Structure 1
Amino acid sequence: MRRATVANVLVVAALVVGCTSTSAGEPLPGDTLVPGSTAPDSHDAPRVDEPLDAARYLNDPCAVLGREQLAGFGVVGPGQADTGSTLADTVGPQCFWQTSPEENSTIGVGFVVRDQVGLATLYALRDEQAYFEETTVGDYPAVFHSYADQRADGICNISVGISNTLFFRTSEYGDTDATRSCARAKNVAEAVVTTLRKGAS
């Protein structure tokens, strides 16, 4: 039985979104402009008609899941926020929680603020992903995806568009199989949407 560490999950998080480097003045893939337009190309990413406000969680990403929600995932301690690392500065703030030894996993939530074009960032890179499977979470567009397919090893990631400029990613890193790891990642995403909706009400 392995025990996931936050360091391991940070490496996985880097693989999830990918860190694209460009020279000065070159746009990142998600920033591609339609010829003759000043608006970013959506790359056929679904639009978000009812955006959710996540501003309050960008400085405190661990607050996006409440105590009862975390207990449902077997979390027994506080989350570990990452708001100042190179990865957080490049991609966005995130938080990771260790579950009980019986559950033996780490769950993570990260807000991807890098490109300010929402899921278009991922759709621009879909052909580079090892898997890219569209779905929805609480009526919001979502995608299971990663550059490396490690689902059979208990690692699964899903990203959810909550506005046309912002999405969040949830991850499961545990001692489980592909079906259960993706189900847990999606359940965490659903819990995040629930929290964001309550904040909007």
Structure 2
Amino acid sequence: MLTPQQASDLAGLSSPEADTADKIGPRCEWDQPGGGLFTISFITVGGGGLSGTYQSHAELPMPYFEPVDVNGYPGVFADQVDRRSYGACGLSVGVRDDVLLKVFSGFERDSPHYGDPCPVVKKAAEMAITTMEGGA
């Protein structure tokens, strides 16, 4: 979902593990230096796209829920637990009515992105969309 150069430039990510057989949708996962985790996935089963994320928030409000535009696609930073100050950030982007592009960071304390991970997560989503649209 990211080229090797994009992943390296973004956050020093290398050696992704792809899982195209995951039952909820394909996913790429990178182990970060120091033990952190970074994932980009498509949710194609059971979530109802971005409207499902909004519905979940309406039923059980999430501690952080911030709508954002990602390359012209609607998205939202959201999670059941606000761990942004601890290197974690989740972003869901509605790339189709029934498909979500999800990006998640779990940066370790020694990462330069630990205290502010969401800009890196958004940049990864932008890069992934550009790559998939054939613009990279």
Q: TM-score, normalised by structure 1?
A: 0.58
Counting helix residues as a fraction of each chain, which structure ranks higher? 1
Aligned to 1:184: 120
- The question of whether the paired residues in 1 share the 8 Å contact of 2:47 and 2:53 is answered with no
2:97 to 150, 155, 164: 164
2:65 corresponds to 1:132: yes
- Provide the rounded CA distance (Å) in 2 between the counterparts of 1:156 and 1:119: 17
1:197 to 112, 120, 133: 133
Gaps of 5+ in 2: none
Count of matched residue pairs: 128
Q: What is the Cα deviation at residue 192 of structure 1? A: 0.7
Counting strand residues as a fraction of each chain, which structure ranks higher? 2
Q: What is the Cα deviation at residue 116 of structure 1? A: 6.7
2:48 corresponds to 1:117: yes
Report sequence identity in percent.
Answer: 28
Q: What is the Cα deviation at residue 81 of structure 1? A: 2.4
- Provide the rounded CA distance (Å) in 1 between the counterparts of 2:133 and 2:25: 21
2:94 corresponds to 1:94: no
Given residue 6 of structure 2, which amino acid in structure 1 is its aligned partner? Q
Q: What is the Cα deviation at residue 143 of structure 1? A: 0.3
- Provide the rounded CA distance (Å) in 1 between the counterparts of 2:95 and 2:131: 12
Greater Cα radius of gyration, structure 1 or 2: 1
- Provide the rounded CA distance (Å) in 2 between the counterparts of 1:130 and 1:114: 25
- Provide the rounded CA distance (Å) in 2 between the counterparts of 1:144 and 1:124: 14
